[in-house]
Amino acid sequence: MNNWFILAQALGLITILFEFASYQIKDKPKYFLAQGAGSLFWTAMFFAMGMASGMDTMASLIVAAIYSMVRNLVFWRIFAQNTPRSKEFGLNFLLAMIVVALIAGFFSIMNAPEQVRWLHIIGMITALSFVIGQYLPGVHAVRITVVFYAIAAMLLQTPLNILYGDFRWNIMGILIEVAKIASVAVFYARFSKDADDPVLTFAKPQLEAQK
Amino acid sequence: MFQLVSDGGCEFTNEEAQLHKVDVVPFYVSFDEKTYLKESIDIAKDEYFRRMQEDKELFPKTSQPNPQDYVDAYRPHLEAGKDILSLTISSKLSGTHNSATLAAEMLKEEFPDRAIVVIDTLNSALGQNLILREVVKMRDAGYSLQETAEVTAKVLRTTKIYFTLDTLEYLKKGGRVGPTTALVGGILGLRPVLHLVDGEVEQLESVRGRKKVMQLMEEGIAKAVKDDKENINLCVGHILSEEDGLSLKASLEKSIGTEITTPLTEVGATIGTHTGPGALAVAYCMKYETFVS
């Protein structure tokens, strides 16, 4: 078996751990840190997969993964600082990221084989929704949008998109997306009663008195 | 018995101030930066906010009472042989504490036998209101100036105020949020929840929709205070939003399982200039009795 393919699977396993963990985290900075770490391994996995099966169909996924890593790490700092200035910067950064994603998405769609362009268009739309969902307050928007994004990303890693070569099913890539969906399901099972909790945490007066 | 003095940040109505024998030193407000009006004396709070509501371009300025205002407030009581306990809005929000302290120093030589204690409440609006109510109770219960000041320092550490706004426009005008945040927040219908941390305004979170933010405030605050419901005082306030204020108060009473005895309070210009009409606020603090044996 191709060594690059084996490496891709190993990197994918690490990505799964981070992806699953991130959707169990309610705190935004911690969520973005876990996502940023996951995206790093995700990028490496697509690169290895590209080396194994050809870069043409993986290029858009590599770009998406790098974009995701940078975005998550910047958002991590923005939400950790949590100042009006950092939030303003974050929002401008988000808008810039949307523009970059639209341009990159356009080129990746144009470069994709004609018969799979529809899938890349869906991928771009769901990715944009997810990016916005990540930035929105609360715990729900990001989890709802990631499910749609994961489905689209999953399809991009099947013979629907990988048209040629020996490895037309990127099993690990698919498992990563399944892990996201499963993690969202587990999150709602765990926190069905108080999913909104971290949105507004108010100080307990008794604890303040003891400080 | 000592005399209580507070700046206008305490949100006492003129009637309440008279009833509780508190001298309120008002803030100044100005719509044109030329004419400064004394809040609640020259211009009523609701009038002030109605003008803001009617003219969206208007961004009035507030100005702290100057040291002379405090000298004028302190002097008659010192002449009458009374000591003074003076509460001020957070020194991180206004220079009022500085004015009050300067005035106290200016009068020290003239009245060497009298004491003036100036306390920075690290709070404003409803938070300052609750602290002042506790201080009034201590004074009326016969506590000395020193005892009251010591317990007040403990009470104010437990005092928390949270407020939500109906629009981000006034935060933008005040430079507390950037133009992109205000624009996108407005499109998404975001309602920020702000609070005071060590006397400074910080954003706790943003929530989509007025109804949702009211529900989350009610649930979250009820959860935070429920275990201490016998030992806390709570206050709900609003700016030109009496109906929502009453609704929030009623739902909090139901969730906590106790009556909120502090009347629904109209928030004034010190906070209101940055929040604009439609703001809702909730504050709570531990009762002074929990700190005295």
CB contact under 8 A, B228 and A92: no
Determine what percent of chain B is predicted with pLDDT higher than 70: 100
Using an 8 Å Cβ cutoff, are A57 and A161 in contact? yes
| Any domain includes A204 | no
Determine what percent of chain A is predicted with pLDDT higher than 70: 93
The span from the CA of A146 to the CA of A177, in Å, is 9
| Any domain includes A200 | no
Mean pLDDT over residues A102-130, rounded? 88
Domain that holds residue A163: 3-188
| Any domain includes A205 | no
CATH fit for domain B3-157, picks 3.40.50.10170, 3.30.200.20, 2.40.50.1020, 3.40.50.2300:
3.40.50.10170
Using an 8 Å Cβ cutoff, are B127 and B285 in contact? yes
Using an 8 Å Cβ cutoff, are B165 and B276 in contact? yes
What ipTM describes this predicted complex? 0.76
pLDDT digits (tens, 9 = 90+) for B118-139: 999 999 999 999 999 999 999 9
Using an 8 Å Cβ cutoff, are B4 and B148 in contact? no
| Any domain includes A10 | yes
What residue ranges of chain B are covered by domains with CATH 3.40.50.10170? 3-157
Q: Which two tokens stand for residue B288?
A: 């002074």
Give chain A positions within 8 Å (CB) of B231: 205-206
Please, what is the average pLDDT of chain B? 92
Strands B232-238 and B265-266: parallel
Q: Which residue has the higher pLDDT, B29 or A168?
A: B29
Give chain B positions within 8 Å (CB) of A88: 177-181
Q: Which of residues 153-172 of B touch A (CB under 8 A)?
A: 154, 157-160, 162
Would you place residue A199 in the very low, low, confident or very high pLDDT band (cuts 50, 70, 90)? low
Q: How many angstroms away from the CA of A188 is the closest CA of chain B?
A: 18
Would you place residue A56 in the very low, low, confident or very high pLDDT band (cuts 50, 70, 90)? confident
| Any domain includes A194 | no
CB contact under 8 A, B285 and A138: no
pLDDT at B99: 97
Mean pLDDT over residues A16-41, rounded? 94
Q: Which of A199, A204, A208 sits opposite B157 (nearest CB)?
A: A208
Architecture of domain B160-291: 2-Layer Sandwich (3.30)
- Quote the pTM value: 0.78
> Strand B37-38's sheet: what is its strand order?
B37-38, B28-30, B61-63
Would you place residue A195 in the very low, low, confident or very high pLDDT band (cuts 50, 70, 90)? low
Beta bridge partner(s), residue B237: B265, B281
The span from the CA of A157 to the CA of B129, in Å, is 61
Please state the φ and ψ torsions of residue B235, each to the nearest 5 degrees: -140, 140
| Any domain includes A14 | yes
pLDDT at B108: 93
CA A162 to chain centre: 20
Q: Which two tokens stand for residue B188?
A: 């998404």
Q: What angle do CA A64, A69, A74 make, to 5 degrees?
A: 125
Residues contacting B182, CB < 8 A, separation 6+: B168, B169, B171, B172
pLDDT at A196: 60
Would you place residue A1 in the very low, low, confident or very high pLDDT band (cuts 50, 70, 90)? low
pLDDT at B275 over 70: yes
Q: Which of residues 95-154 of B touch A (CB under 8 A)?
A: 154
The span from the CA of A16 to the CA of A22, in Å, is 10
Burial A19-42 (b: 16+ CB within 10 A, else e): bbbbbebbebbebbbbbbbbbbbb
For chain A, how many structural domains are there in total? Answer: 1
CB contact under 8 A, A88 and B190: no
Give chain B positions within 8 Å (CB) of A82: 203
CA B109 to chain centre: 32
pLDDT at B173: 83
pLDDT digits (tens, 9 = 90+) for A82-108: 787 888 898 899 899 889 888 888 888
Q: Which of B206, B216, B285 sits opposite A205 (nearest CB)?
A: B285
Q: Among residues B114, B156, B115, which one has the least CA distance to residue B134?
A: B156
